[in-house]
Amino acid sequence: MSELTLPWPSKVLSPNARVHWAVKSKAAKAYRHACYMLAIQAGAKTGIPWEGDVHLWIDYYPPDRRARDQDNMIAASKALFDGLADAYGVNDKRFRLHPYVKDEIGGMIKIRITKGP
């Protein structure tokens, strides 16, 4: 099992953001790289030592008390999942997401990676 604390994605990465594609692309690339580097620092180069599903237990700690849709948070995290897949050397189609939106404010995302539920 591996645990990571990652930064909150930029508001530009939200599916509801109305920004130029180049702005969104630049933000996604930067966020993907940041998540990749944080995963590497946490020991991701050891890889995933099993075949099959990789369960991601995702705790979202929003930066403020504004209401947010869980599905939008997952969509805004796509670059995060891509960065993790790069760091662990796995295809992200193996990921099984278990998102949970916390009541606490924090502006971060905590992820636990496990073999099963």
Tokens of 59: 């705790």
What's 67's DSSP letter? Answer: -
Give the model's pLDDT for residue 22. 97
Give the model's pLDDT for residue 12. 96
Contact 73, 101 (CB under 8 A): yes
Helices and strands, number each (H, E), in the chain: 3, 4
- pLDDT tens digits for range 49-68: 889 999 999 999 999 999 88
Burial of 17 (0-12, 13-18, 19+ CB in 10 A): middle
Model confidence, pTM: 0.92
Contact 49, 89 (CB under 8 A): no
Q: By residue range, what is the domain housing residue 83?
A: 2-114
Beta partners for residue 116, in sequence order:
none
Give the model's pLDDT for residue 116. 74
The Cβ of residue 111 has, within 10 Å, a number of other Cβ atoms equal to 24
- pLDDT tens digits for range 18-30: 999 999 999 999 9
Intervals of the chain under pLDDT 50:
none
Contact 59, 6 (CB under 8 A): no
Q: Looking at the 3D structure of the chain, how many domains does it have?
A: 1
The Cβ of residue 42 has, within 10 Å, a number of other Cβ atoms equal to 16
Give the model's pLDDT for residue 1. 66
**CATH number for the domain harbouring residue 24:** 3.30.1330.70
